[in-house]
Amino acid sequence: MRKVTIQDVAQYANVSRSTVSRVLNNNSSVDAELAARVMVAVRTLDYHPNRAARRLRKQTEDVVGLLISDIRNPFFGSVIRGIEDEAYKQHVNLVLCNTDEASSKIQNYLQVMQAERVSGLIVVPTHDDNHDILREVQADGIPIVLIDRSLTYESFDRVKVDNINGAFHAVNHLLEHKYRRIGIIYPEVETGYERLQGYQKALRSNGVEYDSSLVEVCGYTIDSSHEATKRLMAQESPPDALFTANNLLTLGAMRALRMSNIRIPQDIALIGFDDMPWATELYTPLTVVSQPTYELGKQAFVTLYQRIKNPKMAYQSIFLTTSLIIRESCGCLPS
Amino acid sequence: MRKVTIQDVAQYANVSRSTVSRVLNNNSSVDAELAARVMVAVRTLDYHPNRAARRLRKQTEDVVGLLISDIRNPFFGSVIRGIEDEAYKQHVNLVLCNTDEASSKIQNYLQVMQAERVSGLIVVPTHDDNHDILREVQADGIPIVLIDRSLTYESFDRVKVDNINGAFHAVNHLLEHKYRRIGIIYPEVETGYERLQGYQKALRSNGVEYDSSLVEVCGYTIDSSHEATKRLMAQESPPDALFTANNLLTLGAMRALRMSNIRIPQDIALIGFDDMPWATELYTPLTVVSQPTYELGKQAFVTLYQRIKNPKMAYQSIFLTTSLIIRESCGCLPS
DNA sequence: TTGAAAGCGCTAACAG
DNA sequence: CTGTTAGCGCTTTCAA
């Protein structure tokens, strides 16, 4: 079963290859009758243009690279779905790359994406040292939109969530309910820092002093948060409330608390970042800062697509807002 | 910043393009000194072969398509990670396609993947009517491995979990603990049918009669399981135990049960399919049939890669086993 | 409006 | 072992 090429279609329709190409890319005008003949040929022969050839010729086409840290984090599942639904509409494909927050993998994937001549990139940047590589790729003519985290740098399109405010409202809520020793567990990434800032801001605006013994930096895993929580609770005067900076860390904290028989919210209040389908079914239904994950992905793709179509467009920064969903873990609702 | 081509490298190294190509693909032997010169040129010029060109010429290369139903199901997150880790080792990229179990999307994506000349496909098939399309693509020379579900058809490589046994052991466990009216909620996909079979098998082997009023078919969502559970519990004589056929459905069931103040395991025992990180933190820690999700993905890629390298290899069917993890929801442990 | 011709960057046959 | 040559399938000038 030989592959059908544009040549076959041309022959069948009795036109030149260029004409076939023209009707398929409907840019320049083609005689209606010829066009019709071509379409018939395309259909009867079930012709699908070879994308590799097209890409080689056009130097780019219809593939977007996606660099995220780890697909197993359910946060990304939803984001990607938002991206994909939009991408599907425009017939663009997504190449998935897990970077594990590792510079070496990012670098490697970036090179590959460049070699692929992808038409754009959606990336969750990790460390500041990615900046230069990212700029290089961008300078090479590949549009990039930064998602979730955006570095401190300008001159990239960015779609992100207002982490500072999200964290601020969460911690403020705790403060309003008279919790005073509020612990925080956050990872060393930009979103983590921002959530810490929101935490600090809430403290300040309530006249509560910042106590570094309540602050725990941790990794990206449940286990690492489990350990951090244990450290926090083992102190002389442990926190009376806890704010965890993402869904995985929340799970780790709950595990640690459960194992130490510390009850939520009776012994400690808890608010987590990220809403998830299981948040309502946890042993204490979780109060959360909910992020518009799907929307995040959707906006990222829309922005990228705009830039692809119009490379000279001014850089955009889209901020999405979070919402505080109050359930039982923060202790202000009767359980 | 013009792109560096193989020609530039050739010039710089003072050899022909073919020689450069040869050292980069290290198939035929090249004089050591020339090879060294080429490598220097490659490095100093920071040359990366254009993958589109390479693919056009070789008619396939280093891209594998991934057709799954919905990335938001955390089951797939883990599977994909297993795939990706292996793929990364072989420098192959993954194109992600969400099909939503919709034939039209599957068909569409399959065509695109064909046009892309991907070197292989890993697909979670949905309905039997996919079979012919899949065969066509395969006949076209694109290796396919079927994952999670495998249709009843032969002549595909398949990697799947032993659903029948997994379900059997779960339901058997319930039966051993004297539950007699065991409900089941499952979706209309192959894995669902198989889990139903395991359920039936356990019933038979314990001499318990099959009661269709305890059997609920549902969709793929939490909500749909929520409804199914309500129907089940609204009956004259509701089940005293429940088996839910995947992680999303389990969540839906727990939600329905909680809202009706039906306690787990006091009023009803529950075992779900799929272990998840949050299973331990649910309001009743969940007894589950745990699937080797990461391994599933890993084996899928390994098998696909073998077939790509050796198209004439006999078709493989790899079965992975599940394990029953007993926690509190099935009621046999003191809580 | 259409066709002929050139060439995107690469690899593989074929000579040498 | 190496270079020359000929395309892979497509789009895009350039003429007609």
| pLDDT, tens only, B248-290 | 999 999 999 999 999 999 999 999 999 999 999 999 999 999 9
Cβ separation of A50 and B117 shorter than 8 Å?
Answer: yes
Closest CA of chain A from B88, distance in Å: 9
Q: What pLDDT score was predicted for residue B2? A: 63
Beta strands A323-325 and A287-290, pairing class:
antiparallel
Domain covering A163-291: architecture: 3-Layer(aba) Sandwich (3.40)
Distance, angstroms, CA B90 to C1' D5? 32
Q: Is the pLDDT of residue A128 over 90?
A: no
Estimate in Å the CA A311 to C1' D10 gap, whole number. Answer: 24
Given an 8 Å threshold on Cβ–Cβ distance, is B283 in contact with A278? Answer: no
- The structure tokens 């079965």 sit at B319
Predicted pLDDT of residue A117: 83
Probe site for chain B from A281, A282, A293 (most B CB atoms < 10 A): A281
Kindly list the distances between the CA atom of residue B191 and the CA atoms of B10, B126, B164, B180, B271, in Å, as whole numbers in the listed order. 54, 10, 9, 24, 16
**Element (DSSP H or E) covering residue B216:** strand B215-218
Q: How far is the CA of A26 from the C1' of C1 (A)?
A: 13
Contact assignment for B255 to A96 by CB distance below 8 Å: no
Give dist(CA A48, CA A67) in Å, integer: 29
Average pLDDT of the residues in A86-100: 92
- Give the pLDDT mean for A127-146: 84
> Cβ of B97 and A98 within 8 Å?
no
Give the whole-angstrom CA distance, residue B171 versus residue B181.
11
Q: Kindly state whether A330 is in contact with chain B, defined as any CB-CB distance less than 8 angstroms.
A: no
What is the spatial distance, in angstroms and rounded to an integer, between the CA atom of A124 and the C1' atom of D6?
A: 44
CA B237 to centroid of chain Cα atoms: 37
| Residue B213 confidence class, pLDDT cut points 50, 70, 90 | very high
Using C1' positions and the CA of B9, the closest nucleotide is C9
Mean of the pLDDT values across residues A172-184? 96
CA–CA–CA angle B77, B256, B332 (5° rounding): 80
Q: What is the pLDDT of residues A261-275, one digit of tens each?
A: 999 999 999 999 999
Q: What pLDDT, on the 0 to 100 scale, is given for residue A14?
A: 93
Q: According to the model, what pLDDT value does residue B210 have?
A: 97
Please give the model's pTM, rounded to 2 decimal places: 0.90
Report pLDDT digits (tens) over B99-121.
Answer: 988 888 998 899 889 888 899 99
Assign A77 to helix, strand or coil: helix
For B49, the closest of A1, A115, A277 (CB atoms) is A115
Residue A271: strand pairing partners = A243, A287
Residue B71, chain A, CB below 8 Å: the answer is: yes
If one counts every other C-beta atom within 10 angstroms of the C-beta of residue A154, the result is 9
Contact of A178 with A332, CB cutoff 8 Å: no
Predicted confidence (pLDDT) at residue B1 exceeds the cutoff of 90: no
| Ranges assigned E (strand) in A117-213 | 120-123, 144-147, 157-161, 182-187
SS3 at position A18 = helix
B211/B201 Cα distance (integer angstroms): 13
User: Residue holding tokens 């749909």?
Assistant: B224
Tell me the C-alpha to C-alpha distance, in Å, between residue A225 and each of A228, B75, B303: 5, 22, 36
pLDDT of residue B153: 67
Nearest to B119 by CA among B147, B145, B101: B145
CA distances in angstroms from A128 to A20, A60, A135, A329, listed in the order given: 48, 28, 12, 35
Residues of B in contact with A85 (CB under 8 A): 98
Reference B305, options B18, B19, B11, B62; nearest CA is B62
Residues of A within 8 A of B91 (CB-CB) are: 112
The two beta strands, B287-290 and B323-325, are antiparallel
Q: Does A221 touch chain B (CB under 8 A)?
A: no
What is the DSSP secondary structure assignment for residue A31, as one 8-state letter?
-
Q: What is the pLDDT of residue A335?
A: 52
* Local confidence band at A2 (pLDDT 50, 70, 90 cut-offs): low
Distance CA B68, CA B70 (A): 6
Percent of chain B residues past pLDDT 70, beyond the cut: 97
What is the percent of chain A where pLDDT is above 90? 74
Pairwise CB contact (< 8 Å): B74 & A76: no
- Output the pLDDT for position B13: 93
Domain ranges of chain B: 1-49, 163-291
DSSP character at residue A4 = P
Residue A1 has pLDDT above 60, yes or no: no
Residues B320-334 pLDDT 10s: 999 999 999 999 876
| B282: chain A residues, CB-CB within 8 Å | 278, 281-283
* List of chain A residues whose C-beta atoms are within 8 Å of the C-beta of residue B253: none
Q: Are B302 and B85 in contact (CB under 8 A)?
A: no
* Of A87-101, A128-142, A245-259, B160-174, the least confident: A128-142
For residue A264, give both structure tokens.
């939520």
Please give the share of chain B, as a percent, with pLDDT higher than 90. 73
Residue A285: DSSP 8-state: P
Contacts with A, B 108-137, CB within 8 Å: 111-112, 114-117
On strand D, nucleotides with any atom < 7 Å from a protein CB are: 1-13
Taking a C-beta distance cutoff of 8 angstroms, is the pair B289, B321 a contact? no
Shortest distance, CA A275 to any CA of chain B (angstroms) = 13
Long-range Cβ contact pairs of B23-30 (< 8 A, separation 24 or more): B24/B49
C1’ C7 / CA B21, Å: 19
State whether residue B136 is helix, strand or coil: helix
* Strand D proximity list, CB < 7 Å: A 3, 5-7, 17-18, 20-22, 24-25, 27, 47, 49-50, 53-54, 56-58; B 14-19, 22, 28-31, 33-35, 53, 56-57, 59
Chain B residues with beta carbon closer than 8 angstroms to that of A117: 50-52
Mean per-residue pLDDT, A79-95: 94
The pLDDT of A136-159, averaged and rounded, is: 84
Distance, in Å, from the CA atom of A71 to the CA atom of A144, rounded to the nearest integer, reads: 20
Report the Cα–Cα distance between both ends of chain B, in Å, rounded. Answer: 67
Check whether A132 has a pLDDT greater than 90.
no
Which protein residue has its CA closest to C1' of D6?
B57
For chain B, the farthest-separated pair of C-alpha atoms sits apart, in whole angstroms, at 87
Task: Check pLDDT > 80 for residue B27.
Answer: no
What's the Cα-to-Cα distance from B110 to each of A84, A93, B64, B155, B247, rounded to whole Å? 16, 12, 12, 18, 28
Average pLDDT, chain A: 92
The nucleotide whose C1' lies nearest the CA of B29 is D1
| Paired tokens of B315 | 């078709």
Is the CB of residue A58 less than 8 Å away from at least one CB of chain B?
no
| Complete edge-to-edge strand list for the sheet that includes strand A241-244 | A215-218, A182-187, A241-244, A269-273, A287-290, A323-325
| CATH number for the domain running over B1-49 | 1.10.260.40
Residues B73-91: pLDDT tens digits? Answer: 999 999 999 999 999 999 8
B281·A254 Cβ contact <8 A? yes
| Cα dihedral across residues B322, B323, B329, B331: positive or negative | positive
